[in-house]
A = this chain, B = another copy of it.
Amino acid sequence: MSRQQTTELAVLGALSVQPMSGYAVRAAITETLGHFWSESFGQIYPTLARLESEALIVRDADGKTSGSTFRLTPSGRERLVDLLREPITAAPPRNGTLLRLFFGGLLGVEECRAILTEARSRAVAQLAALDAIRHGLEAETAADPDARYRLVTVLAGQHSARAAIAWADESLALLAG
């Protein structure tokens, strides 16, 4: 029971920052929440239509241009806060890499080491990408206290990436010996 409504949460959240088009919502989610969230157009547009019909957002036609701009209504903002408050249903964390390594005996040491090496590379790249974002946010924090919340999500990604690197190193050593 009780749908997840996570897409609704992400869309309302994006619009809470500033009014924008559906296309821009997608871009904002990809760019800003990209390291822990994703949405496709096939989800976003139907969601926008439903939110509009429930008067949680309104659509302003952009004068002469083709697109439109969606804006949160007061009840939409209330709805967003309600969703934020809702208990977080811990999704089962399906991890394809671990599933493969668990049955690694069927693949052999070398292939498993390759999987680990690749996972390590991805983590190193992500750590570097998040480092750049982090420096920007730390500068912002002085002016905007709310930037701290965004910083918290970046820290999560960095801790997670560092853990992945340490795990890969330890596992590579274990499989080498």
Contact = CB atoms under 8 A, between A and B. Distances in A.
Interface stretch (A18-26, A47-55, A58-66, A162-170): A162-170
Dominant secondary structure of chain A at its interface with chain B: helix
Given A152-B175, A167-B159, A170-B155, A38 B104 contact: no
Given A84-B100, A94-B36, A95-B36, A149 B105 contact: yes
Nearest to A32: B102
Given A102-B149, A104-B149, A116-B152, 11 more contacts: A6-B94, A77-B106, A84-B100, A85-B111, A88-B96, A104-B146, A105-B149, A112-B149, A156-B167, A156-B171, A160-B164
Interface of A: 6, 9-10, 13, 16, 33, 35-38, 77, 80-81, 84-85, 88-107, 111-112, 115-116, 122, 145-146, 148-153, 155-156, 159-160, 162-164, 166-167, 170-171, 174-175
